[in-house]
Amino acid sequence: MKDNDLNKAFEEAVARVNAHTEPFPADTLLKLYAYYKKATNNYSKPSSKKPIINAFKTNALFQAKNVSEDEAKRMYIDLVKNYFLYRM
């Protein structure tokens, strides 16, 4: 997938997640969080008001530490596709 195609597919996947009104399972949400942060090179600390949520987010980021930006975009896209495919 070319960079422009990858970026477009990633943006579409992000928009689909943002438009979804039902809650995601916690494990899916944490993966989406980690892949999004890696894909966008956002290395700011988790900022939840609850320390336990920050711990889970930090752990998710740690698990994705060796994932490149493009790989994170692909993983995010695949996770979104599979989530919506299998939730019907």
Answer for the pair 62, 25: CB distance below 8 angstroms, yes or no. no
3-86: in CATH 3.40.50.300: no
Collapse the DSSP code of 55 into the 3-class scheme (helix H, G, I; strand E, B; otherwise coil) and give the result: helix
State pTM to two decimals: 0.90
Cα separation, 5 vs 28, whole angstroms: 24
Query: Which pLDDT value is given to residue 1?
Result: 67
pLDDT, tens only, 9-45: 999 999 999 999 999 999 999 999 999 999 999 888 8
pLDDT, tens only, 35-82: 999 999 988 888 888 999 999 999 999 999 999 999 999 999 999 999
CA distances from 74 to 30, 67, 83, 88 (A): 16, 10, 14, 22
Query: Which pLDDT value is given to residue 87?
Result: 73
